[in-house]
Structure 1
Amino acid sequence: MTSETKLLNLPNILTLSRIAAVPLVVFLLLFESKQNCFWAAFVFTAASITDWLDGYLARKWHIVTILGKFLDPLADKLIVMAALIMLIPLDRVPAWAVFVILARELIVSGIRSIASSEGIVIAASDLGKYKTIFQMIAIVGLLLHYRYYWFFGVQFDFLYPSLHNAGIFIFYISLFLTVWSGGDYFVKFFKLFAKK
């Protein structure tokens, strides 16, 4: 298998499609409306599914590449942070919480880079995976935001809970997991560094 074939495999193409979805989500939220928010949520959901699918296919087909290892976490961070930053001026998430999430991602990336340069491998933890899952679910709810009357336009509010309220509740769970998993990386780093 040539290096070009290795680079242009389906998991990497799915990852690149997730990156390509970022400007589309940003564009839709720049012109905020109920309809645009629905489509932004749709695009974000499809991109989130590729996050699971590309990793699954890469492992199943044994085509894990260096490019894929680099692009996959980058794509996750880009689409999550782009959505959250765009939600700040729409008053759907507090700016301070988005800053905490962004700071955590930068710090953890820095820690992993330092560890890697010293020959120390810090494996991704389950906490980090749960954090990402909760973030993505929360963002879908925050993007949808409005009440959607799916069944023939029947407008009984008790049948259609506020998607924003559900999204912000899950968002704060993800924020807690973000801080917890960040602290977990710190502890692992210093333990491994002390041993070295």
Structure 2
Amino acid sequence: MNAAEDRIWTVPNLLSALRLLGVPVFLWLVLGPHADGWAIALLALAGFSDWLDGKLARAWNQISRLGRLIDPLADRLYILATLVGLVLRDVVPWWLALAVPLRDVLMLWIPPLLRRHGYGPALPVHFLGKAGTAALMYAFPLLFLASHAGWYAEIAAIFGWAFAIWGTGLYWWAGVLYVVQVRQLTKG
């Protein structure tokens, strides 16, 4: 690893850290005061900052080991918090709330196996995983909007469910590809 990879104080890491801090705020907005407008705005901002931190990390050469850990952690926590909040508010069904995090639970064996074979704690993020996560980040605010009365509800529901189903499928497909990649790396 070079010194640049060991940096902590970078703009992309700051964006990821702010996204992490937004997780409990989002849950409070959804479950406490039911401040849905603010919750949707925070969710949209989190999705945008997820895209922006990756873009800035590459453009400004600020890719770091910490960033490779906290960025996907923030994504997973936002997805989990959003699913919990939306299930408890009866916006999405339980099957969706279980299907998405189940993939991550089933893959918990990968980091210890990679370490045992001399690889880092995680594999590079696959494009399908990024696409699945992005689709889910689009799906959740749209499904939340669909749960409210308004001219936009039906359109939001159509696009929200399309993104949710495609996002979940891509998320699982990326998981299968990670398993295949790990098996190829650890065969010998």
TM over 0.5: yes
Between 1:91-100 and 1:125-134, the stretch displaced more is 91-100
Q: Distance in 2 between matches of 1:133 and 1:103?
A: 18
Q: Distance in 1 between matches of 2:62 and 2:127?
A: 23
| Pairing 1:70–2:63 present | no
Residue 42 of structure 1: aligned partner: 41
Residue 65 of structure 1 aligns to which amino acid in structure 2? S
Q: Distance in 1 between matches of 2:52 and 2:107?
A: 24
Structure 2 counterpart of 1:169, from 153, 159, 162: 162
CA contact (8 A) 1:11 1:58 kept: yes
CA contact (8 A) 1:93 1:168 kept: no
Between 1:184-193 and 1:112-121, the stretch displaced more is 112-121
The alpha carbon displacement at 1:46 in A equals 0.7
Listed as ranges, the gaps of 5+ residues in structure 1 are 149-156
CA RMSD, Structure 1 to Structure 2 (Å): 2.4
Q: Distance in 1 between matches of 2:54 and 2:104?
A: 20
Change (3 A) 1:124 1:9: closer
Q: Distance in 2 between matches of 1:192 and 1:30?
A: 43
Residue 161 of structure 1 aligns to which amino acid in structure 2? E
| Pairing 1:110–2:103 present | no
Residue 23 of structure 1: aligned partner: 24
The alpha carbon displacement at 1:32 in A equals 6.2
In the superposition, the TM-score normalised over structure 1's length comes to 0.82
CA contact (8 A) 2:138 2:160 kept: yes
Q: Distance in 1 between matches of 2:74 and 2:53?
A: 11
The alpha carbon displacement at 1:162 in A equals 4.3
The alpha carbon displacement at 1:79 in A equals 0.9
What count of residue pairs does the alignment treat as equivalent?
182
CA contact (8 A) 1:84 1:98 kept: yes
Residue 154 of structure 1: aligned partner: none
Q: Distance in 2 between matches of 1:162 and 1:28?
A: 24
Q: Distance in 2 between matches of 1:179 and 1:136?
A: 15
The alpha carbon displacement at 1:179 in A equals 1.9
Residue 85 of structure 1: aligned partner: 84
Q: Distance in 2 between matches of 1:160 and 1:178?
A: 26
Residue 57 of structure 1: aligned partner: 56
* SS class of match (1:41): helix
Identity rate, percent: 29
Residue 160 of structure 2 aligns to which amino acid in structure 1? G
Asked which structure has the greater CA Rg, the reply is 1
Change (3 A) 1:181 1:74: same
Change (3 A) 1:124 1:6: closer
